[in-house]
Structure 1
Amino acid sequence: MNGLLKRAVESNEVLEMIYLSDKGEISQRRIQVIKVYEESFTAYCFARKQQRTFKLTNVLSIGPARKVRRGA
């Protein structure tokens, strides 16, 4: 996972993540990683429209954001 996060920082790639909060709430977020630390990382969260810090141990799933295609 660290490799994916570090590559996302270098390429400014948007990722899609499923995250478990400390309160036990599961959320799906689109993020842009800013900096990776040993046990956490900071990212811009498009759902909250602000920079957030996420714990690596609380990430349930993470990968490249899917392209949304609309219309016929």
Structure 2
Amino acid sequence: MVETVLHQAAREKEMVELIYLDRKGRLTQRRVRIFKWKEEGVWVYCEERKAFRRLRREGILAAERKGRR
């Protein structure tokens, strides 16, 4: 389900709100725009940090599309 939401958001150029578990076990909520989807990770632009990030696919626990901006 999460991967379907992410693929659709990437295709439609929509923002996504994620719940993400980092390698240190910290949960974060992020608003991102997806740029690349690869086996080794998902490349996103994080609105909060105003920076590009690579997220581990297995760390993305939930995703909700937020529409175009």
TM over 0.5: yes
TM-score of the superposition, structure 1-length normalised? 0.80
User: Who is 1:36 aligned against?
Assistant: 37
Higher relative contact order (CA 8 A, sep 6+): 2
More strand per residue: 1 or 2? 2
TM-score by length of 2: 0.83
Number of residues of Structure 1 aligned to a counterpart in Structure 2:
66
1:17 match: 18
Q: Give 1 or 2 for the bigger CA radius of gyration.
A: 1
Give the RMSD, CA atoms, in angstroms: 1.6
The runs of 5 or more residues in structure 2 that have no matched partner are none
- After TM superposition, the runs of 4+ consecutive aligned structure 1 residues lying more than 4 A away are none
